[in-house]
Amino acid sequence: MKHLYLNLKRFDTPVELGGVNRLAPLPEWGAAVVRGTQEALRKYDPAAVEFVQYLPEAHLLGAVAALTENSPVKIGSQGVYRMDTAVGGNFGAFTTNRTANIVRAMGCSSTLIGHCEERSDKKGVLREAGLADMSAVNRLLNQEIKCAQAAGLSVLYCIGETSEEQPRWQEVLGEQLDAGLRDVDLSRVVIGYEPVWSIGPGKTPAGREYIQRIARFVKGRCGCDVVYGGGLKADNAGMLASIPEIDGGLIALTRFTGEIGFYPEEYIEIIDKYLTASGNRN
């Protein structure tokens, strides 16, 4: 099965405030994303490919409400907290934190955990506390995965190495997999590989051989499906589709020059290009 994920980060921020939202007024943004994509995705077999869209929490209800009957789109949250509510236990003392139970209650079926931006944030907190052991990040993410699965959510778990970590990538990725996935249901986890060292302006994108090597390593370590999390774009869709060990990709922005932003019609074009090259024709 192919997995095509959309991570909309903070792309809801209006242009006048430094963001890239040219799609819709803020209250309507989540619904506009769904309405602009779901009908075009119906042509694909839901047994062969899944489409999950991860939105900031403020837009989850609007996105879920915009889903039509038998929509091919699934809605997901951008992470969950490492603890949750429980009958007879903590019934809501989670100020500022997004629990898996509330995400599920809002209509989500999936969550994104361990994205490189989340990992960077957690590492920053640990450093500020004077700690040098960054392995704690993987243990915290493991707690999040367990909470997500207990609430009935599937998980896209992201792993990746920085430029400093690249010489020992097997050790780094192995620890992220072993600690992050300890005692979880692997049948409800997909791994998103993010080559952090190659992501961003001025950096050289990871090549086909490198991505394939990593995907083989991950599948040999945990057996989960693997998608490319370094950014599925129009210009790399064909290359990624040619890697048999890669089961999909993570899309973010669709336009990187000019009026930078997310555009539904360009998102559909990326998906069509990737799935056609993969042999998943409608």
Catalytic positions, written as ranges: 115, 194
Q: What are phi and psi of 268, to 5 degrees?
A: -65, -40
When computed from its CA atoms, the radius of gyration of the chain, rounded to whole angstroms, is 18
CB 267 within 8 A of CB 33: no
Helix (H, G, I), strand (E, B) or coil at 42: coil
CA nearest to 55, candidates 37, 77, 73: 77
Among residues 145, 205, 194, 203, the alpha carbon closest in space to that of 165 is found at 194
* C-alpha 22, offset from chain centre: 22
Nearest in space to 259 (alpha carbons), one of 19, 35, 59, 24: 19
